[in-house]
Structure 1
Amino acid sequence: MTENVTGNPSERGRDLAAALAADGVAGLTIAWADNNGIPRSRTVPVSALPQVATSGVGVTHLFAVFDTNDAIAFGSPGMQNASGDVRLVPQLDRVTRLAGQPAFAWAPGKQVAADGGPWAFDQRSVLERVVDRLAAEDYTALVGYEMEFGVYEPETDPEDSELLPAHHGPAYSPHALLPIDGFVASVMRDAEANGLRLGQIHAEYGPAQVELSLAATDPLTAADQQLLARQTILAAAEAHGLRVSFAPLPTLNGAGNGWHVHTSLWRHGDNLLAGGPEGPRGTAGAGYVAGLLRDLPALAAVTAPSQGSLARLRPGFFAGAFSGFWGVENREAPLRYVPGSALLGEDHANVELKTSDASANPFLALAAILTSGVAGIEENLVPPAPTAEDPGTWKKKQRAAAGIEKLPATQAEQEEALRGNPRVAGVLGEELLEAFLAVRRADATWAAQKDTEEVLAAWRWKY
């Protein structure tokens, strides 16, 4: 349960330390996501909270250029050598005792400069700035995640890379979850205890695949909860002797794990995306869709940035492999408009970005998505008519005539799309952009020497 605390940081830390210690909690894990989407952390004794709440805990600045293999991509501005330190400060209003790890509490962290001032490479601050800009224009947003992941039996041989599914389907069947019902029950109970509101959990389409949806909330909370949900799921899996992979594509034979982002934009209490089977009713909602559609190649470089992401973006897998089109309830579209209805109400309307996965830093991804959507409104953009078909079944000439193209398929193509887009690149800022791209290039260089299956196996348990 998240603690609501007031007072200055030291007093709040002292009160929290006493409350957590009384509940048998030994340590607070302070977590953040790096530029690969990988959670990193520091754990401190709860007795240290009064000091840590004020001054944080030291971490190397080089986490900004850790690649997916934990190598350091030196060379980008501010990241030329190992000299430097920043402070990781827990967000005390998000401290949560972990139901699945009762000796520990959890909190998201914010990275600040050594003097306590802003640090250009802190991803959480990027989203905070975007949310503040939206608020200045009377916009608010709701964000919900659908998180797909694979559940597997542990390997009998540590050298064996073969995956052993913990359930064998059928897809979407209650029968599929019977072999892992203890794990599923723990996830549901622990999620509720950890303050996560679940929409549903079910066996997904792919072998061993499960999907969990988080209820929509404000953007910062959504990003924090996405990280907390990972910790919750992994702890439950550990308790039940299972392994979980959040990787975009654990193996070439799998369906791939999308972490679909549902967003809606609101102003003065009205959902600007409200509409029906034809799409958003107003020009603002249409502009939001058009803004996302215009920036999709650059957005994908942030929301699906890894080598595993590129392998996942295949036509016919509900992955959103093409740009240039959107659809109403079209699951092959990269942007799926979910309309309101008489049953759910018009305010249920939202846009789902399918080109998104666990290798995206959630703070950067949401900052980019919201910026692109709002830019479409401000520039009065108009989207093309929605597409109900799967362009992956069309001939190349037919797609070209409709302005539909495959999304960037290599790291170099993604970098070109990102650098060429002033809105998405501008969200990150020059220093963070260069660090982000340095990491992407390091991953691509490493992967170039290996076949795709070897790369996927190496990154299977990273996220």
Structure 2
Amino acid sequence: MTKAASAAAKDLAAAGVTGVQIAWADNNGIPRSRIIPVGGLAHAAGRGVGVTTLFAVFDSHDAITYGHPGLATPSGDVRLVPVIERLRRLAGQPALAWAPGRQITADGSPWPYCQRAVLERAVAEAAARGYELRAGYELEFTVAPAGSEDAVTTPGHHGPAYSPHALIGLDGFIATLLHDFEANGLGLNQLHAEYGPAQLELSLAATDPMSAADDQLLARQTIHAAAHAHGLRVSFAPIVSPEAVGNGWHLHTSLWRKGTNVLGAGQRQEAGMPVPGAEGAGYVAGLLRDLPALTAVTAPSVPSTMRLRPGYFASAYGFWGVENREAPLRYVPATELLGEDHANVELKPSDASANPYLALAAVLTAGLAGVTDALPLPDPIGEDPGTWSDPRRQEAGVVRLPATPAEQDAALVASPRVSGTLGEDLLGAFRAVRSSDRKWAAEHSPAEIVAAHLWRY
């Protein structure tokens, strides 16, 4: 690996690159990084760069919590190692290249708090059973002029939602995004003005889980740089106003075995609706079974729980549906036009405060457990249960997803599959961080909570 890193460093230097940014996401989904001179890339690939162990217990406000016994002192160091095969030159920051990092101990052994390693382990376990996951993110974000403190009263565009007119004033920014995504090796499906105030959405092409998580980090770096170049700033925060629609980072996944998408293969009609075959149904049922615990990982921040409200297409209740945009699990079926490969399930309670490696690992583990257990899938719901009476929801077995951080924590602990995916050490650090955020939020108003998180992501 050091030989490949040395060759890459020479090529980058010849192209005018002077530094390499090694990035990772912490337990709040916030990207952290180290920049090294390009000439030090080979050394970093072999021995890593020293970082404190305490990044695992940073909360969303950069406070360090010592609430987890495994990381209860300021002592300790780990090595951050760049993943050379994912090295990219940053088109919007031409003096820099970018690579995701993995965290190992000082003697080179695995570190239990490395989120990337959790996903690597989940992918390997699935592969040993003959399965692989395909995943792609939809990223929603809010645009505002540079220096703006409020993305709603000083919006980057004035709508209308989904209209080409909304983007005319952002022509330069959009052109840069399209160019930089391609130059940075990011597959982009589409981009448009979304429903929320000054909101845009773009979708990344589906790929393997490791690449999907890496691409999510690289995409937000690319978007931030493009916005800065055009006098703008963007917010990926789960909610940008207590009254407005929030930003989701919807996660689309499909499970594959021997080159076949099990969500599309065996699809059949029930009551006039397309539903997945037995294996695909088990995958969706596994996600549904662990949905409360999954949201504790895929939408874990205090603003996340504020976003997951009834009537906001944010998925407040636990159920699944076919192309139902109020459903937290939206089945996108195969069609004659698009084929079996197109079938996937969208997880809507997902946002930028989630660590993408942990989110994907939890989804893969929960879904695959449903296949293993041959879980039956209940009937899909084509309505919004938020408009139903309590007795009707109870009769249909539809319950509210965790609406508070404390409820999320309880759901996480109650699921042996999701909590087990993180492992005892990382689970302890993750819960300590969530507890620190919860205590901070208890002393602040909803408006203060929104403001404090607005530009964190």
TM bucket (normalised to shorter chain) is over 0.9
Shift in alpha-carbon separation, 1:281–1:411, aligned structure 2, 3 A: closer
The Cα shift of 1:207 comes to 1.1
Separation (CA, whole Å) in 2 of partners of 1:371 and 1:82: 33
2:178 corresponds to which residue? 188
Q: Residue by residue, what CA displacement relative to the aligned partner does 1:110-131 show, whole Å, maximum 9, x if unpaired?
A: 0001111100000000000000
Is 1:314 equivalent to 2:312 in the alignment?
no
Q: Identity of aligned pairs, percent?
A: 63
Shift in alpha-carbon separation, 1:232–1:394, aligned structure 2, 3 A: same
Is 1:340 equivalent to 2:334 in the alignment?
yes
Separation (CA, whole Å) in 1 of partners of 2:2 and 2:360: 31
Q: How does 1:8-87 map to 2 (within 5 A)?
A: 9-87=1-79
Separation (CA, whole Å) in 2 of partners of 1:337 and 1:162: 32
Separation (CA, whole Å) in 2 of partners of 1:257 and 1:102: 29
1:204 corresponds to which residue? 194
Separation (CA, whole Å) in 2 of partners of 1:63 and 1:72: 8
Read off the aligned partner of 1:239 and give its amino acid letter. Answer: A
| Contact 1:145–1:261 (CA under 8 A) maintained in structure 2 | yes
1:453 is aligned, of 433, 447, 451, to: 447
Separation (CA, whole Å) in 1 of partners of 2:171 and 2:245: 22
1:220 corresponds to which residue? 210
| Contact 2:268–2:277 (CA under 8 A) maintained in structure 1 | no
User: How many residue pairs were aligned?
Assistant: 452
| Contact 1:169–1:203 (CA under 8 A) maintained in structure 2 | yes
2:284 corresponds to which residue? 289
Q: Residue by residue, what CA displacement relative to the aligned partner does 1:13-64 show, whole Å, maximum 9, x if unpaired?
A: 2111110000000100000000000000000000111211100100000000
RMSD between aligned alpha carbons? 1.1
| Contact 2:22–2:98 (CA under 8 A) maintained in structure 1 | yes
Could you list the runs of 5+ residues in structure 2 that have no partner in the other structure? none
Which secondary structure does the structure 2 equivalent of 1:217 belong to?
coil
| Contact 2:144–2:151 (CA under 8 A) maintained in structure 1 | no
Separation (CA, whole Å) in 1 of partners of 2:289 and 2:32: 33
Is 1:176 equivalent to 2:170 in the alignment?
no
The Cα shift of 1:11 comes to 1.4
Separation (CA, whole Å) in 2 of partners of 1:411 and 1:86: 30
Is 1:354 equivalent to 2:348 in the alignment?
yes
Shift in alpha-carbon separation, 1:253–1:276, aligned structure 2, 3 A: farther
The Cα shift of 1:161 comes to 8.0
Q: Residue by residue, what CA displacement relative to the aligned partner does 1:391-410 show, whole Å, maximum 9, x if unpaired?
A: 01111111111111111111
Q: Residue by residue, what CA displacement relative to the aligned partner does 1:217-255 show, whole Å, maximum 9, x if unpaired?
A: 000000000000000000000000001000000111321
1:236 is aligned, of 212, 226, 247, to: 226
| Contact 1:65–1:79 (CA under 8 A) maintained in structure 2 | yes
The Cα shift of 1:155 comes to 3.8
Could you list the runs of 5+ residues in structure 1 that have no partner in the other structure? 1-8
Q: Residue by residue, what CA displacement relative to the aligned partner does 1:338-374 show, whole Å, maximum 9, x if unpaired?
A: 0011111122000000010000000000000010000
* TM-score, scaled relative to structure 2: 0.97
Separation (CA, whole Å) in 1 of partners of 2:62 and 2:72: 17
Provide runs of 4+ in structure 1 moved above 6 Å. Answer: none
Moved more, 404-413 or 41-50: 404-413
| Contact 1:27–1:46 (CA under 8 A) maintained in structure 2 | yes
Q: Residue by residue, what CA displacement relative to the aligned partner does 1:89-111 show, whole Å, maximum 9, x if unpaired?
A: 00000000000000000000000
Separation (CA, whole Å) in 2 of partners of 1:344 and 1:25: 42
Separation (CA, whole Å) in 1 of partners of 2:172 and 2:268: 40
